[in-house]
Structure 1
Amino acid sequence: MFLAAGVLLGGLWMTASAAVITLEPKPLTDLLGANPAPVGALRTTSMTAATLEAEVDSQAYTNDQGLYAYLYQIKNIGQTGDHPVEMFTLYPFWGANDDLAMGYLTGDIPAGFSAGGNLPEDEGFVSEELVSIYFTLPPGAEISIGQSSAVLYLMSDYVPGEIVGNVIDGSVAAGAVVGPVPEPGTVCLLSLGGLMFLRRRTKFRGN
């Protein structure tokens, strides 16, 4: 099921949507063709909370057609007494909707990432530009101390920039990761769209 409406956030017009997405296991070459190319360097982000210590590796890969695969791998580097990672979220993942292609890599694992790892649940969730991926079912799927996730992918035609990633165990640890952002011209159009909507709404209320 997919729902959509409009919200104004930070001066930008954004689509409010909610959808359950089935995660697909694929090799990187199925996503981007025979010669996927990295965009920038691998980024490793430390994320800590009271009972949680993790690192998230992130990087974008692309093909010659303007499509990007955003890759993420979560590592639980906590100490005795810390909690497992049960959820990973990204915000704002620009362009996320009910057609968002996401899943985990089964082959062609790029340098800097590790093969194997804990698999996410079969379904993720998209709400507005918030993407959520779960590691709670079946029992044992959570990312315990010393474990890592499989390499997750999310597809987008937005260019790489910086967004926020969160690892969650009940508490939340956050940090900046590689993710899709609108180009400057797109930001202007989104802002203008929001302003036009508000003006029309104000005019309608005044009549």
Structure 2
Amino acid sequence: RERIIDATTKKMAEKAATWGPEVMRDLEKSLLLQVLDQVWKEHLLALDHLRQGIGLRAYGQKDPLNEYKSEAFEMFNQMLAELDDRITMILSHMEVQLTDVDDIDLYDRPDPNTYKMYRDPDFVDMGDEDTIFMEGNQNRTRSNAIHTSPLTLRQAADEIDPEDPSTWGKVGRNVTCPCGSGKKFKHCHGSNK
């Protein structure tokens, strides 16, 4: 046993010396997180299976709650042992190929100016006859609707008359009513629609 422990300690020390302590710690950290995530998911699935079948223990005159607690604790200890085994196995077999840092371009991204925007006219929201467009013309063709955009709320607020519901256009149900009452539209003027 001592011979195996000495051999593995020597091998891990050689790897740490070859890769450098910082790279080794980063590898150990990322490996631990990945393996822990995988083992934890398996543990949760096993607990779910245990929970589904634990009710049958009542037929054997055993308290299902106490049985669940004891078996879940035992499964947790097995999960920790499995975690240690997997990490040790992977670390002992891992080989890292380091490349020169100057060869790696971490910020190599395509130029966003080379992208072209494609707009499919069949998927443009034309609105309805109450939608207000920038030019004010409500009768638009599909091709012209691509180049126009609805007014912002601030621009449209100048054209809305709180006294005249015909100038409100399409109002969302959960938006404050344009009449100025402070109520939601669905509880004010939208309740009779």
Band of TM-score, shorter chain: under 0.3
Max radius of gyration: which structure? Answer: 2
* TM-score w.r.t. length of structure 2: 0.20
Between Structure 1 and Structure 2, the one with more strand by share is 1
| Higher relative contact order, structure no. (Cα contacts within 8 Å, ≥ 6 residues apart) | 1
